[in-house]
Each structure stands twice: as C-alpha cells, then as structure tokens.
Amino acid sequence: MTTLGLPQGIRACLFDLDGVLTKTAVVHAAAWKEMFDDFLRRRDGDGPSGSCRPFDDDDYDEYVDGRPRADGVRTFLASRGIELPEGSADDPPGAETVHGLGNRKNELLLAKIRKDGVEAYPGSLRYLQAVREADLRTAVVSSSANCRDIITSVGIEHMFDVRIDGVVAAERKLPGKPEPDTFLAAAHDLGVQASGSAVFEDALAGMDAGRAGHFGYVVGVDRTGQADALRRHGADTVVQDLAELAESEERA
C-alpha cells in the first residue's frame, strides 16, 4: 500500500453513493420496507406460505441493496414467489407492476429526504478530498436516479470527473449491479483500465460487480455489521469508514 491505503498502480477511484459517501442507505432501506410491507399486507392470503412475511434487513442486503430500482423489485418478489407485470416507467406509484412498486418506493424516498435532508459521512468527504489532492481520477457510480440531486445537495458534485448513475445507465442501456458494466463505464470514461481502478462499495451486489469486473482493488465499506459477507462477495479489504484508509497510511 502506498497511496491512501490503495495498491500501487491505482489511478482512479470509483465510489458508490448510498452508504459509502452519504447516509442515504438507511433512508433507502426504510423506503423499501414501507413500500414492500404495504404491498405484502394487501396481498395477504394470495401467495404461497411465507410470501407475505414482512420485508427485513436480510431481504434488503440480499435482494435490493445496490441494484437498480426495477431489478430490486423483481429480485425481491422472485424470492417470495411473486410475479407481477412489468408495467412501464410512468406507472402511478403503487400500481401492482414492477415499475409501479418502484415508483412508490422512490416517492417515499424523496419524501423522507425532503423531510430530513441528506448528510454525508465526514470521513468519506475527507478521504475523497485526499484522493483529489493525490491527483487520482474520481467517479461516482450509483444505481440511483437521484444521484445528481443528492451529490449537489451535499456540495460534492464538483469532486467527480465522471458520474454514472441510474439516469446515465438507462440512457446507455447498461445493466446494473451485480453486473460490472456501470463501474466499467466509469473507468472507461476516466480513461483508466479496470485493473487501475479501485471500487468503493457497501452493498453485496457492488462487491459482486467489483469482482466480476476484475478491478484493481475492491474496498468494502461495512456500515451494518456485514464485514464477512462483504469479503465473501469479493472485497479485498473492509473498513467501517473510508477515513481508516488514510489513517493506515499515516501510521505506516
């Protein structure tokens, strides 16, 4: 390790947003739970045994976290043996379609953000600033269609050379995490090979994407006590806060 806790040869840092840079992962989890629990209660008695069990933290980690919104809906419903029509992107929130449920989740998320605001992790901001000062290239890679609004609201939009989010991914038809395509697109736009890029993620799907893309280094950020799972899914190292990476260099 020579620079900011990263191996030699790393020229770019690709940061996930929710749970890595900003404290929005818990807000996403709450919005998913409220939406799915309401949907499951309305379906009570319609599905096979166990399909109406409330949405919980394990469901969030395994089926939803880090994935594009519609993929999260499909993956969780499949885990309960529930099939719904796809619908379309302009379905009303709560319509019993994949997109309708996804739109309801986003409606709840935005209401929670408007009420409570968005906060960044101070350690992540210090690390991001250090990365910039070290002349490493930077990208934010998020499945969220609200990514630009969030990074603007916390004043860090100018700290990224590239943004690949849910909007950009849809425009380019990039599959979301756990596929590596969004991270690979960020590295490409930065002019850096995957082997010269480090991925920073808190989601298991993000770890899978980092491993599948053969990136030079994958940092798992453990905000919820899932360090072992992050390692199993491909993390080269796990920290509770990005500031630990800079501190490890200072101690060296």
User: Mind listing the pLDDT tens digit for each residue in 165-192?
Assistant: 999 999 999 999 999 999 999 999 999 9
Cα separation, 245 vs 200, in Å, equals 11
Is 151 part of a structural domain of the chain? yes
What is the dihedral sign for C-alpha 188, 190, 193, 198? negative
**Could you give the 3-state DSSP secondary structure of residue 199?**
strand
Cα separation, 112 vs 35, in Å, equals 13
Is 2 part of a structural domain of the chain? no
Q: How far is CA 114 from the centre of its chain?
A: 20
Domain boundary among 89, 116, 143: 116
For residue 9, the 8-state DSSP code is T
Query: What whole-number percentage of the chain has pLDDT above 90?
Result: 81
Domain boundary among 116, 138, 153: 116
Q: 133 and 204, same structural domain?
A: yes
The radius of gyration computed from the CA coordinates of the chain, to the nearest angstrom, equals 18
Q: 240 and 139, same structural domain?
A: yes
pLDDT at position 98 is 97
Least confident of 47-56, 90-99, 149-158, 190-199: 47-56
Cα separation, 103 vs 93, in Å, equals 5
- Kindly give, in sequence order, each residue whose CB lies less than 8 Å from that of residue 122, ignoring residues fewer than 6 positions away: 243
Cα separation, 30 vs 42, in Å, equals 18
Q: What is the mean pLDDT of residues 131-157?
A: 93
State the pairing for strand pair 237-239/197-201: unpaired
CATH number for the domain spanning 192: value is: 3.40.50.1000
For residue 3, the 8-state DSSP code is B
pTM of the model: 0.80
Out of 16, 59, 181, 202, which one is annotated catalytic? 16
Active site residue 56: no
Active site residue 16: yes
Q: 240 and 183, same structural domain?
A: yes
Cα separation, 23 vs 123, in Å, equals 12
The whole-chain average pLDDT of the chain stands at 92
Number of domains in the chain: 2
Please check whether residue 148 is in contact with residue 163, taking contact to mean a CB–CB distance below 8 angstroms. yes
Domain span at 199:
12-23+119-251
